[in-house]
Amino acid sequence: MKLMIDETRCKGCNLCTLVCPYKIFQEGTTPNRRGVVVPVLDRPERCTNCRLQKLYGRVLCGVCQMICPDQAIRWVDEKPYNPEKVVIEY
Ligand code: SF4
Ligand code: SF4
């Protein structure tokens, strides 16, 4: 699964940057066309959902999605990450 921020919904509140245990969401620096500074994703393949959602068949962790007031965070299907290439940092 791939982690996505829907730029048409995000308002740049940065709540997601506060909650992720892996610090995947980082404060952005450049405003988009709507003037919103959307967070950037730092190595999103480290996200528990990206790695294991398919295996468990349900959303894991998901704190970022729960706290986002604009339902801007979601996961989309894509080829699974190669687990040997994922470096986990806390
Ligand atoms: S689901 Fe959890 S680990 Fe994945 S990006 Fe959101 S807060 Fe981080
Ligand atoms: S919590 Fe949602 S609205 Fe706020 S910055 Fe993150 S993705 Fe955007």
Mutation to probe ligand 2, out of 4, 7, 16, 23 (largest number of atoms < 8 A from CB): 16
In a domain, 27, yes or no: no
Q: How many domains does the chain have?
A: 1
Residue 24's pLDDT is what?
Answer: 96
**Which of the ligands is closest to the CA of residue 47?**
1
In a domain, 30, yes or no: no
Residue 82 predicted with pLDDT over 80: no
Instruction: Please state the φ and ψ torsions of residue 73, each to the nearest 5 degrees.
Output: -110, 130
Residue 80's pLDDT is what?
Answer: 61
Nearest ligand 1 atom to the CA of 47 is: 4
Strand-pairing partners, residue 76, are 2
Q: How far is the CA of 73 from the centre of ligand 2 (A)?
A: 7
In a domain, 43, yes or no: yes
In a domain, 6, yes or no: yes
Average the pLDDT over 60-88 and give the result: 86
In a domain, 60, yes or no: yes
Residue 90 predicted with pLDDT over 80: no
Mutation to probe ligand 1, out of 61, 66, 86, 89 (largest number of atoms < 8 A from CB): 61
What is the band of 44 on the pLDDT scale with cuts at 50, 70, 90?
very high
In a domain, 67, yes or no: yes
Q: Which residue has the tokens 């990206």?
A: 50
Domain, as residue range, for 8: 2-16+37-85
Residue 84's pLDDT is what?
Answer: 73
DSSP state of 9: T
In a domain, 31, yes or no: no
Residue 36 predicted with pLDDT over 80: yes
In a domain, 69, yes or no: yes
What is the band of 61 on the pLDDT scale with cuts at 50, 70, 90?
very high
